[in-house]
Structure 1
Amino acid sequence: MLDFTFHNATKIIFGRNTEKKVGEEISKLGKKVLFHYGGGSIKKTGIYDRVVESLKKAGVEIFELGGVKPNPRLSLVKEGIELCRKNGIDAILAVGGGSVIDSAKAIGIGVPYEGDVWDFYSKGKKVEEMLPLGVVLTIPAAGSESSGGSVITNEDGWYKRSTNSVNMRAKFAIMNPELTFTLPNYQTAVGAVDIMSHVMERYFTNVKNVDFTDRLCEATLRTMIRNTPIALKEPENYDARAEIMWAGTIAHNDLLSTGRIGDWATHGMEHELSAIYDIAHGGGLAIMWAPWMTYVYKHDIERFAQFAYRVWDVEPDFRNPEKAALEGIKGLKEFFASLGIPVTLTDAGIPDDRFDEMAKKATEDGPLGQFVKLYKDDVKKIYELAK
């Protein structure tokens, strides 16, 4: 286990009707608030009205900016930055899922910065400050409600890039599982893949003697495996939705990273898919995981065998761990398919004519991954395996 410092200052407010507390919480952060959200779903479900009522009751001045798309766009971020500067906005409220929260973070770090906000995503500019951010989570998936990360897509060249800082965590996150009852099954499914992906990116590590966090990772994965099918079959099953929502936060708040180094190559490869083809992030990850695993598993067969034993209940065969490792990879792919989502590029309608371009863009800042370093040719081969 490596040395580490763990600090997560996001206040979690979890449970039924907690969105009614949003005005009380955001008013502690500012008096002029940017209310940032996506499309019309929060208005159809009544969340919008409840949030506005709470904000007005708290006496905050509201400035709205909707229109966040999946794979949030840099152009809207820049619009939000100008809106905040023009009106002296001193806090941001993100109501939605990871795309909305990531966009809000980008706006928050862009307002006090004199340069181009894209510098944080493309040039490694360090984040020193951000407007205080509050969150009402409506889609458990990205874990952005208490992570230090943000992912934005630049329409100029369709680059999807991330930035990360301890200064980018939300001050509070309101999490009511009831707000997820109306999610379409597809969003529930790809959100579950996103959550599991955050765990697996951390799980496949070269660091030894990390059994405690291994067990935490495995428990989180098993929780998702058990509860996601329940939520798909019974959308208003509060207990299943609650388990998924809390697992999504734990998967990406860095607790599972403690003492270990994660990989993140699969995320890097998927970003090229969703930047160009605008596929849901979790949908792209469902396609890329098995090919990545198939390509790298021989680097540490014992870890993949452990994944098979502990997560997928593959019968231990210590004389043939490779067989178990392959069974675990098969189990993951079959589980994703059971959620009703594509698990190959062909099934998702994604052609194979831009693999070279995607591999080049994915590795232009250096090889992907920490578990196994992947260069352009490696990445292209994994895209081929994903067909």
Structure 2
Amino acid sequence: MDNFTYYNPTKIDFGTGKEQLIGQHLAEHGIRKVLLAYGSERIKRDGLFDTVSQSLAAQGVAWVEFGGIVSNPLISKVRDGIALARQHQVQAILAVGGGSVLDSAKAIAAGVPYQGDVWDLFIGKAAIDSALPVFDILTLAATGSEMNNGAVVTHDETREKFAIGSVHTYPRVSIVNPALMQTVSRDYLVYSAADVIAHAIEGYFTATVQPRFHSRLVEAILTTVIETTETLLAEPENYPARAEFAWAATQALNGLVYSGTAGFGYPNHMIEHALSALFNVPHGAGLSVVMPAWMKWYHGRNPAQFTRFARQVFGVDTPEQGIAALEHWFDKIGTPTRLSQLGITEAELPATIENVLGNAKWFGVAELYTRDVVSTILKLAL
């Protein structure tokens, strides 16, 4: 096991009805005015907005609405949020939604005290020295953003999809009520499953130091996601399954499975970011296409771990059988496994490759992921 420092200051308030406590959490942190960030108007139609606003009002917390955040969030919208937050002198950002809303909230929080353009923080031109506090009520389990410091945003003009992360961008309190996720569509349930799996396997397969304990943690997450996804497809209102799925999603990217590991990367995310940046495909759908293709190319570099994956997760014997089993499971639940299913043709590969190569530089893996390698992986996904 490698040396590590594990730090995660986020408080998780998990369970039914916990969204009613958001005003109390904010008041306990001395917050009197927030930017209330959300995506679609669904939170108003289903009554969640009323619940939140009543909780805030009961504690004397004022709010400024900031809706319309889209999946694959954009830097232009983040800039709008920063301007609104400054105009109204809010003290914190409250995100009500899924990972895209949380990503935007963190970027806004970091951008408000920064005097330059917030995109500087994504391209390494400036460091995040401070940020407004972030709080959230999660309505979609997938990204783990409720318990990590990362935020991924796309630049509207350059179509670069980059991330930030800082000790200042961890949420202070995240409310996770699985009952709020029961209206998630079938498509976004299976896309979320693929997203969680991708978070768990990146280090599992690529780390040069991967303790057995951490492999077992990853395998527990993977098998839990597989089992609960199948349950939820048949029984969308099954709360115990929804709760286990949500907690597994949080654990996949809150830093725990990466503590004590070393030498790992995020190649599947690196490649997928090009798909969602260029073609606006759902992130999880892009990942379910990329993962089997990448695994077919990569497994020879770590055959022992791929064999372990095959046996522990799917009960088969070889790396090839394990990869085929994962791809079959994606097909079974209805998340894409081919670029053509995303409407991406071979003619669009050159532009996609260029975008991936830019990501490879940002991720620091350009020496391994050359043009030929990226081309090979994407052609396996056609």
Shorter-chain TM range is: over 0.9
Q: Is the 8 A contact 1:264 1:369 kept in 2?
A: no
Aligned to 2:371: 376
Aligned to 1:280: 282
Q: Is the 8 A contact 2:360 2:366 kept in 1?
A: no
1:199-246 residue CA offsets vs partner (Å, 9 max, x unmatched): 011211342451010110111101001110111111110000000000
Aligned to 2:271: 269
Q: Is the 8 A contact 1:296 1:372 kept in 2?
A: no
Q: Is the 8 A contact 2:306 2:322 kept in 1?
A: yes
Q: Kindly provide the amino acid, as one letter, of the partner of residue 309 in structure 1.
A: R
Range with bigger deviation, 183-192 or 122-131: 122-131
Q: Is the 8 A contact 2:210 2:261 kept in 1?
A: no
Q: Is the 8 A contact 1:32 1:62 kept in 2?
A: yes
Range with bigger deviation, 123-132 or 223-232: 123-132
Residue 114 (structure 2) pairs with residue 120 (structure 1)? no
Q: Is the 8 A contact 1:35 1:62 kept in 2?
A: yes
Output the aligned Cα RMSD: 1.5
TM-score (structure 2 length as normaliser): 0.96
- Matches for 1:23-172 after TM superposition, within 5 Å: 23-29=23-29, 30-123=31-124, 125-172=126-173
Aligned to 2:322: 328
The change in CA–CA distance for 1:371 and 1:201 in structure 2 (over 3 A counts) is farther
Q: Percent identity?
A: 38
Distance in 1 between residues matched to 2:25 and 2:256, nearest whole Å:
25
Structure 1 residue 365 displacement after superposition: 6.0
Local SS of the residue matching 1:346: helix
The change in CA–CA distance for 1:136 and 1:357 in structure 2 (over 3 A counts) is same
Range with bigger deviation, 118-127 or 161-170: 118-127
1:132-165 residue CA offsets vs partner (Å, 9 max, x unmatched): 0101000000110111100001111211111122
Aligned to 1:346: 340
- Matches for 1:161-310 after TM superposition, within 5 Å: 161-208=162-209, 210-261=211-262, 262-310=264-312
Distance in 2 between residues matched to 1:263 and 1:365, nearest whole Å:
12
Aligned to 2:22: 22
Range with bigger deviation, 55-64 or 199-208: 199-208
Aligned to 1:12: 12
Distance in 2 between residues matched to 1:204 and 1:84, nearest whole Å:
41
Local SS of the residue matching 1:204: helix
The change in CA–CA distance for 1:330 and 1:247 in structure 2 (over 3 A counts) is same
Q: Kindly provide the amino acid, as one letter, of the partner of residue 374 in structure 2.
A: V
Match of 2:314 among 312, 315, 330: 312
1:269-313 residue CA offsets vs partner (Å, 9 max, x unmatched): 101100111111000000000000011111111111111011111
Distance in 2 between residues matched to 1:299 and 1:167, nearest whole Å:
36
Q: Kindly provide the amino acid, as one letter, of the partner of residue 27 in structure 1.
A: A
Q: Kindly provide the amino acid, as one letter, of the partner of residue 349 in structure 2.
A: F
Q: Kindly provide the amino acid, as one letter, of the partner of residue 15 in structure 1.
A: G
Residue 3 (structure 2) pairs with residue 3 (structure 1)? yes
Structure 1 residue 370 displacement after superposition: 6.2
Distance in 2 between residues matched to 1:119 and 1:91, nearest whole Å:
21
Distance in 1 between residues matched to 2:166 and 2:288, nearest whole Å:
27
Q: Kindly provide the amino acid, as one letter, of the partner of residue 350 in structure 2.
A: D
Distance in 2 between residues matched to 1:70 and 1:164, nearest whole Å:
19
Structure 1 residue 124 displacement after superposition: 5.4
Q: Is the 8 A contact 2:210 2:260 kept in 1?
A: no
Q: Is the 8 A contact 2:204 2:210 kept in 1?
A: no
Local SS of the residue matching 2:142: coil
Local SS of the residue matching 1:62: strand
1:73-102 residue CA offsets vs partner (Å, 9 max, x unmatched): 111100110111111111110000000000
Query: How many corresponding residue pairs?
Result: 379
Distance in 2 between residues matched to 1:57 and 1:128, nearest whole Å:
33
Distance in 2 between residues matched to 1:365 and 1:346, nearest whole Å:
22
Aligned to 1:319: none
Give the ranges of 4+ consecutive aligned residues of structure 1 lying more than 6 Å apart after TM superposition. Answer: 369-372
Distance in 1 between residues matched to 2:342 and 2:349, nearest whole Å:
15
1:240-260 residue CA offsets vs partner (Å, 9 max, x unmatched): 000000001100100000111
Range with bigger deviation, 368-377 or 243-252: 368-377
Structure 1 residue 56 displacement after superposition: 0.8
Distance in 2 between residues matched to 1:272 and 1:124, nearest whole Å:
22
Distance in 2 between residues matched to 1:265 and 1:164, nearest whole Å:
18
- Which stretches in structure 2 are left out of the alignment for 5+ residues? none
Distance in 2 between residues matched to 1:146 and 1:365, nearest whole Å:
24
Local SS of the residue matching 1:363: helix
Distance in 1 between residues matched to 2:152 and 2:169, nearest whole Å:
12
TM-score (structure 1 length as normaliser): 0.95
Compare the two structures and name the one with the higher helix fraction.
2
Local SS of the residue matching 2:8: coil
